[in-house]
Chain A
Amino acid sequence: MSPSHDARADQRTKTAARGEIIEIRALVAHPMETGYREGPNGAVIPRNIIKRFVCKYAGEEVFAAELFPAIAANPYIAFTTVATTTGTLTFEWIDDQGEVQAASAEITVT
């Protein structure tokens, strides 16, 4: 089963009024392998989780999460941020190996 390495942002809308609170829902495919499960041959499947999620807004970090194995597979994180300026929202998921998956979305603030 070959994984896809694309990180895509599916943008639905990009405008908000200044000062409006935007809700962001991020969903990413990842097994969040805990490191506590045994594989078919009895050996422990090594831990492999996303351990950090960061959202930056026009270059400034506005939200971050430290994740542990108790976060469900295909992690879902919903949070809010205030619309301040037209710019780019960037999202990064960093795993145990330090590999980064990134996506971004443009937001227009009126």
Chain B
Amino acid sequence: MLMLMLWGSAVAQTPPQDKRSGFEFMSPQTQAMQTDASSNPGMLWMIDGERLWQQPQGSADKSCASCHGTAAKSMRGVATRYPRFDERSRKPIDLAGQINLCRQHRQSAPPLAHESDELLALSTYVAHQSHGMPITPAVDSRLRPFRENGRRWFERRLGQLQLSCASCHDDRAGARLGGSVIPQAHPTGYPLYRLEWQTIGSLQRRLRGCLVGVRAEPFEFGAPEYVDIELFLMSRAAGLKIETPAVRP
């Protein structure tokens, strides 16, 4: 117990007043790409999500709108509180997971594939309804062990390079890795358009990129580890505003 505490405290945590979104680490040109809705490529998926929201799905022939009405009202603030505790599975669930749960149980429709355009479009559309709102993690004691698991993954040295998330994103945020500035790793804008991907992608995809980057075997899409890590990251990012769809290099 003592060892764990020492280990935890050895990791430099970003003090709340120094918490900065990855947006602030970008060049003005890339920032402009994000803030200008008419040139933000992520908006293409936002528009598609808007269309899918209205489209009846599955054998129940219901659209998201059938239950949730106008997304701007019903989905406002939702993304600020995810991942949340799912009663059925007794585990935290992320927004994309919840969308698929709705499809399964309310629309009698098959789940959308990970990183599919449709799932990304709906996730983007729903998360965008919280644009500008501060991340406000759900207060639910049932989430604690999962959040702690996420924290342990964040602090664990991984891969051939034996780097933890904290090695770069706590200890060296603001420094350079190759030609890029290391951000603090706050998931404020997911799904986001990553210039490197030339398309929109989820937080899980980005985490896989990090794992491959340290030469570790990445978890499969949908792995509970990703949800736990997201739960921790969102709590670490509390107070920062949702930017979905963000643009990042």
Min distance, Cβ B95 to any Cβ of chain A, angstroms? 19
A11 at the interface (CB under 8 A from B): no
A14 at the interface (CB under 8 A from B): no
A4 at the interface (CB under 8 A from B): yes
DSSP majority for the A interface?
A: loop
Min distance, Cβ B33 to any Cβ of chain A, angstroms? 9
Given A31-B199, A73-B199, A78 and B47 contact (CB-CB distance below 8 Å): no
Given A27-B39, A74-B41, A4 and B198 contact (CB-CB distance below 8 Å): no
- Verify B199–A2 contact, CB threshold 8 A: no
Complex CA gap A100/B69 in Å reads: 35
- Verify A1–B113 contact, CB threshold 8 A: yes
A25 contacts which chain B residues (CB < 8 A)?
Answer: 38-39
A74 contacts which chain B residues (CB < 8 A)?
Answer: 41, 44, 198-199
Min distance, Cβ A67 to any Cβ of chain B, angstroms? 15
- Verify B198–A3 contact, CB threshold 8 A: no
- Verify A1–B43 contact, CB threshold 8 A: no
A66 at the interface (CB under 8 A from B): no
- Verify A1–B117 contact, CB threshold 8 A: yes
Q: In chain A, residues 47-89, which have Cβ atoms closer than 8 Å to a Cβ of chain B?
A: 72-74, 76, 78
Min distance, Cβ A99 to any Cβ of chain B, angstroms? 18
A1-16 CB contact bits vs B (8 Å, 1 = yes)? Answer: 1111010101000000
B115 at the interface (CB under 8 A from A): yes
B27-51 CB contact bits vs A (8 Å, 1 = yes)? Answer: 0000000000011010110011001
- Verify A27–B38 contact, CB threshold 8 A: yes
B113 contacts which chain A residues (CB < 8 A)?
Answer: 1
B141 at the interface (CB under 8 A from A): no
Complex CA gap A6/B47 in Å reads: 11
- Verify A3–B117 contact, CB threshold 8 A: yes
Which of chain A's residues has its CB closest to B47's CB?
Answer: A10
Given A8-B47, A27-B44, A74-B44, A1 and B116 contact (CB-CB distance below 8 Å): yes
A29 at the interface (CB under 8 A from B): yes
- Verify B198–A73 contact, CB threshold 8 A: yes
Min distance, Cβ A10 to any Cβ of chain B, angstroms? 6
B155 at the interface (CB under 8 A from A): no
Complex CA gap A50/B116 in Å reads: 22
Complex CA gap A4/B51 in Å reads: 11
5 additional contacts (CB under 8 A) given A1-B115, A1-B117, A74-B199: A1-B116, A3-B117, A4-B117, A32-B198, A76-B39
List the 7 closest A-B pairs by CB distance, nearest first.
A73-B198, A74-B41, A25-B38, A29-B44, A1-B116, A76-B39, A1-B117
List 25 A-B residue pairs with CB atoms under 8 Å apart, sorted by A's residue number. Answer: A1-B115, A1-B116, A1-B117, A2-B116, A2-B118, A3-B117, A4-B48, A6-B51, A8-B47, A8-B51, A10-B47, A25-B38, A25-B39, A27-B38, A27-B43, A28-B44, A29-B41, A31-B198, A32-B198, A72-B198, A73-B41, A73-B199, A74-B41, A74-B44, A76-B41
User: What is the interface of chain B, defined by CB distance below 8 A to chain A?
Assistant: 38-39, 41, 43-44, 47-48, 51, 113, 115-118, 198-199
